[in-house]
C-alpha cells in the first residue's frame, strides 16, 4: 500500500516527459546503441532525479496543497504519507542520482551537485518569480544534457539544442497547466505567469514557447546528420502542438488534462522514435 502511495505521490508515470529526451541525447551522442551500462545508469539517474524532484515538491507545497481544493486530496494533506517518509524518499532519490553519475563518468559526477540544486531549488521559485515555468523547463532539460554528457563527457552544440528544446517545451505546457490555479495563486500571493498577466497572455506565451520548440527541433539536423524519418516525426510533433493549443482557450480550459498529459506524452515518445529512425 505504501509503495502505491509513494508512486502516486511522485507521479512516476510523468517520467515519460523527460526520459525519452535523455534517451534521444544518449543515442544521438553514441551514433547508435550506447551499450547497456550507459542505458542502465542513465535510467537510474533519471529515476533518482525524478524521485527527488517530486518528493521535494510534495514536501515544499504540502501546506499550499492542503488549502487548494484541486490538490487537497494529495497524500501529505490527507495524512496517507508522513513528511519524514517523503523526505526519506527524496534523500534516496538524491543518493541514486549521485551514484549513477559516479558510475557514468567524472564530468557527470562534477555536474551532479548542480543538477541537485535545480531539482530541489526550482520548487521555491513560485514564491518569488513568475519565470518559474521556464526554470522548471530548464531543470527538466538537464535530462537531455545529461544523456549526451553520459556518452560524450563533453558539451557540444546538440547538447545546447536539446536542452533548449526541453526548456521551452516544458515551460509551454506548464504555462497551460498553471492556468487552472490563477485565482488560487493570486489569493495565496504565489507567482505564476497566468496569475501575473492573465490566462490569455499565458496561452500566447505557451504558443511562443512551443513555436520555439518546433524551431529548435528543426535545427537539430544541422548539428548532426539525421535522415527523412526524423523530419516525419518533426511534422507529427508540430501537428500535435497545434492540436494541443486548439484544445484550450481563455474561456474554456475543460480539456486541459488532455492537452497536458496525453498530447505531451505522445510528443516525447515521437521525438525519441524520430531520432532513432532518422539516425539509422
Residues 6+ apart with CB under 8 A from 108: 45, 101, 102, 146, 149, 150, 153
Q: Residue 16, class by beta-carbon neighbours within 10 Å (0-12 exposed, 13-18 middle, 19+ buried)?
A: middle
Which residue's C-alpha cell is 495565496? 188
Question: To the nearest whole number, what is the mean pLDDT of the chain?
Answer: 90
Find the domain containing 242 and state its range: 2-279
pLDDT at residue 2, rounded to an integer = 59
Which residue's C-alpha cell is 508522513? 82
Q: What's the grid cell of residue 20? A: 525519452
pLDDT tens digits, 158-214: 999 999 999 999 999 999 999 999 999 999 999 999 999 999 999 999 999 999 999
Number of domains comprising the chain: 1
pLDDT tens digits, 137-174: 999 999 999 999 999 999 899 999 999 999 999 999 99
Confidence of residue 13 (pLDDT cuts 50, 70, 90): low
Q: What's the grid cell of residue 114? A: 548542480
Q: With pLDDT > 70 as the criterion, what percentage of the chain qualifies?
A: 93
pLDDT at residue 132, rounded to an integer = 96
Mean pLDDT score, 101-113: 97
Residues 6+ apart with CB under 8 A from 109: 98, 101, 102
Q: 63-71 — which CB contacts under 8 Å span 24+ positions?
A: 64/188, 64/190, 67/184, 67/188, 68/181, 68/184, 70/180, 70/181, 70/184
Confidence of residue 70 (pLDDT cuts 50, 70, 90): confident
Instruction: Tell me the C-alpha to C-alpha distance, in Å, between residue 205 and each of 193, 213, 257.
Output: 9, 12, 19
pLDDT at residue 5, rounded to an integer = 59
Confidence of residue 280 (pLDDT cuts 50, 70, 90): confident
Which residue's C-alpha cell is 553519475? 101
pLDDT tens digits, 228-244: 999 999 999 999 999 99
Q: Which residue has the higher pLDDT, 71 or 98?
A: 98
CATH number for the domain spanning 24: value is 1.10.357.140
pLDDT tens digits, 19-62: 889 999 999 999 989 999 999 999 999 999 999 999 999 999 99
Amino acid at each position: 500500500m505504501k509503495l502505491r502511495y509513494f508512486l502516486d505521490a511522485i507521479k512516476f508515470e510523468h517520467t515519460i516527459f523527460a526520459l525519452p529526451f535523455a534517451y534521444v541525447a544518449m543515442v544521438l551522442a553514441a551514433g547508435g546503441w550506447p551499450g547497456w551500462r550507459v542505458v542502465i545508469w542513465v535510467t537510474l539517474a533519471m529515476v533518482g532525479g525524478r524521485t527527488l524532484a517530486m518528493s521535494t515538491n510534495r514536501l515544499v507545497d504540502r501546506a499550499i496543497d492542503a488549502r487548494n481544493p484541486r490538490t487537497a486530496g494529495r497524500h501529505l494533506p490527507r495524512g496517507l504519507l508522513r513528511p519524514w517518509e517523503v523526505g526519506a524518499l527524496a534523500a534516496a532519490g538524491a543518493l541514486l542520482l549521485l551514484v549513477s553519475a559516479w558510475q557514468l563518468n567524472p564530468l557527470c559526477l562534477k555536474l551532479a551537485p548542480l543538477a541537485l540544486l535545480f531539482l530541489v531549488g526550482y520548487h521555491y521559485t513560485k514564491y518569488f518569480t513568475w519565470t518559474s515555468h521556464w526554470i522548471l523547463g530548464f531543470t527538466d532539460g538537464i535530462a537531455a544534457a545529461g544523456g549526451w554528457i553520459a556518452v560524450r563527457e563533453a558539451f557540444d552544440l546538440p547538447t545546447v539544442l536539446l536542452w533548449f528544446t526541453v526548456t521551452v517545451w516544458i515551460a509551454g505546457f506548464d504555462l497551460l497547466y498553471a492556468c487552472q490555479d490563477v485565482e488560487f495563486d493570486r489569493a495565496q500571493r504565489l507567482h505564476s505567469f497566468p496569475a501575473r498577466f492573465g490566462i490569455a497572455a499565458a496561452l500566447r506565451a505557451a504558443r511562443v514557447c512551443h513555436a520555439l520548440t518546433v524551431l529548435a527541433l528543426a535545427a537539430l539536423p544541422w548539428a548532426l546528420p539525421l535522415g527523412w524519418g526524423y523530419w516525419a516525426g518533426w511534422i507529427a510533433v508540430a501537428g500535435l502542438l497545434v492540436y494541443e493549443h486548439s484544445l484550450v482557450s481563455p474561456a474554456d480550459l475543460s480539456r486541459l488534462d488532455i492537452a497536458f498529459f496525453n498530447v505531451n506524452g505522445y510528443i516525447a515518445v515521437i521525438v525519441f522514435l524520430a531520432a532513432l529512425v532518422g539516425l539509422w
